[in-house]
Chain A
Amino acid sequence: MLSHDDIKQMRRDGYVTFETDIIEKTTLEVANSIGIPATWTNLSKVQSLRPRLRTTVEKSSYSGLYGLDAFPMHTDMAHWWHPPRYILLRCIHAENNVSTHVLKADVIFSTEYPAIRRAAFRPRRPVEGKFFIIHLQEKNFVRWDDVFLEPLGGTSLRIKNKIRDRISEATPQKIFLDKPGKCILIDNWNALHGRSSVNDLQSNRHVERTYLEKITGDTDETEHS
């Protein structure tokens, strides 16, 4: 279970890091020990992330779009109606020169409210066969993806360009998953994350990812209505 200070840090910074024993516990066991893992029919509970060349992956994923280049700042599943609340990344095989970047969303979004609540976007591609309208800032969370979300109309295009400029001017926190078992837990509703570029020679980097709906001991029980 995360400590009170860990949860407080996550609220403040949008993430927290902690160590786990890579032998004693699987990633799913770690997730179960700190909260409630999220499940979805078409997604495995734990995903294996390794740097891959752009040419070897379909364009519907970040590896397919960016390959070994830096991943731009984004929130996971931004094109979903209800994105996962937390992302747990756990180092399986470390590479010291690759960093995970985290940026608290309120730095970027706060001055645009309420115009941002009216700016309409849609997923780039249909989700389960349908398009629907979503907003970058919902009542209690934000979403951002420069590729997977398309603006509908002039207001949303202006907002998108503003947010993109702000992100490029911001300085994210850089976290190195530099030893096996080291974890970073990111608040996917209130923080953006990205990844530095990966040198070809370092393509043994291996991280496992799982999503969580809730963190045990977290009294912030706001839900996406």
Chain B
Amino acid sequence: MKPNIHEWSRDSYFSKAQLYAEEMEKFEDADWQFGLWSSLLLENLVRASVAHISPALVADNHEWANILYALGAQPKKSKFVPKTAAITDVVTRAEEVCAEFTREHANFCINHFARRNGEVHSGSLAFSNISVSSWLPNFYAVCNVLLKFINESLDSLFGEEISLRALDDIEALQDETAKSIKGTIHAHQVIWESKAENDKEDARAQAAAANLRHYGHRTTCPACRSTALIHGKAAMPAKQSIVEDGIIERQVMKPESFSCVSCGLKFSGYSKMLAAGLGDSFTSTSHYDAVEYFQVDIDRHIRNLMDDDNNEY
């Protein structure tokens, strides 16, 4: 029996990653906090992966007392403060010990930690400055590799709902055929640019009139730069909040199809949306009044108020 666990152990780091995953879940994709928590989670997961071999691999090896500490002994040096290796070094070690963790994965980690540093050490909102779809699928892909290495899963880290979404994202990322959409976009762009300016103006006006907010999520067409529409499917359960005049329901949507009335560009499938740079989730917001939302039968309520007292049958 043992009261404590080493703070540099695989289990300690993985438990921390689980705690941070729960924090991440409280925010929507586009929130800066979502990105920040993801970077803290990823750091703990990378450390868990090298600690899975030995906690000694987490130690800052510039001072051997850190290695001694990692192995469970208490150095005699006075005022000793244990120090772990810099995360960039730990990423390099992860690349060595985990066969499936490639240079591409390592580069993603370094960039993601650089964003975290930008968020923490500067006044800029580093995670608001980039689209979520430019990093989230890669984030899940890296997590998946590291989790398998330490004999865990996306499910054990994120829970079933998010792990299914993560697997979708990873599959979309790995869909090589989806990249052909770039060729399709280029072809539409060439055709668009060959049109007369009058024709372009007419088409743009038609698109603006047809693509109203309640028909879908409005975006800019990557081929002709006119207003176009994205349709999506629910990415997670809707969240409700009560406001003064009713209930607001916010539903995070994962983009599934694109259509542009101006140039005729159309395609569907999340992997193509991702390859086209249109993979960011969006939020569909609905307002309900309380009577409508809770399906209150007003007529019945009023009739009940008008019944005589002691009306027993």
Contacts and interface: CB of A to CB of B under 8 A. Distances in A.
A133 B15 contact: yes
B18 A83 contact: no
A117 interface: yes
A127 interface: yes
7 contacts: A81-B2, A114-B160, A118-B18, A118-B22, A120-B19, A132-B12, A133-B16
A140 B5 CA distance: 17
B11 A118 contact: no
Given A133-B15, A153-B19, A225-B11, A118 B1 contact: no
A5 interface: no
A155 interface: yes
The bracket for how many chain A residues form the interface is 20 to 34
Nearest to A38: B1
Nearest to A152: B19
A114 to B, nearest CB: 6
A132 B159 contact: no
A152 B12 CA distance: 15
B176 to A, nearest CB: 33
A83 B15 contact: no
B156 interface: yes
Main secondary structure of the interface of B (DSSP, over half): helix
A132 B7 contact: yes
Contacts of A81: 2-5
A80 B15 contact: no
A135 B15 contact: yes
A4 interface: no
Interface string A53-89: 0000000000000000000000001001111110000
Contact of B15 (A77, A84, A134): A134
Contacts, number: 63
A115 interface: yes
B31 interface: no
Contacts of A77: 1, 3
Interface in A120-173: 120, 127-128, 130, 132-135, 152-155
Contacts of A127: 3-4
A196 B116 CA distance: 54
Given A132-B7, A133-B12, A85 B19 contact: no
B210 to A, nearest CB: 43
A40 B19 contact: no
A40 B3 contact: yes
Interface in B58-114: none
Main secondary structure of the interface of A (DSSP, over half): loop
B5 A213 contact: no
Interface string B153-170: 001110110000000000
B62 to A, nearest CB: 24
Contacts of A225: 11
A180 to B, nearest CB: 27
Contact of B156 (A114, A120, A132): A114
A163 to B, nearest CB: 18
A211 interface: yes
A138 to B, nearest CB: 9
B23 to A, nearest CB: 8
A19 B214 CA distance: 77
A56 to B, nearest CB: 25
Nearest to B5: A81
Contact of A84 (B1, B4, B7): B1
Contacts of B3: 40, 77, 80-82, 127-128
Contact of B1 (A83, A130, A132, A154): A83
A109 B51 CA distance: 29
A40 to B, nearest CB: 6
Contacts of B23: 153
B1 A211 contact: yes
B242 to A, nearest CB: 19
Interface in B1-55: 1-5, 7, 11-12, 15-16, 18-19, 21-23
Contact of B159 (A85, A118, A135): A118
B18 A120 contact: yes
B156 A117 contact: yes
User: Which residue among A38, A81, A127, A213 has the maximum number of chain B CB atoms within 10 Å of its CB?
Assistant: A81
A132 B5 contact: yes
Nearest to B16: A133
Contacts of A40: 1, 3
Contacts of A155: 22
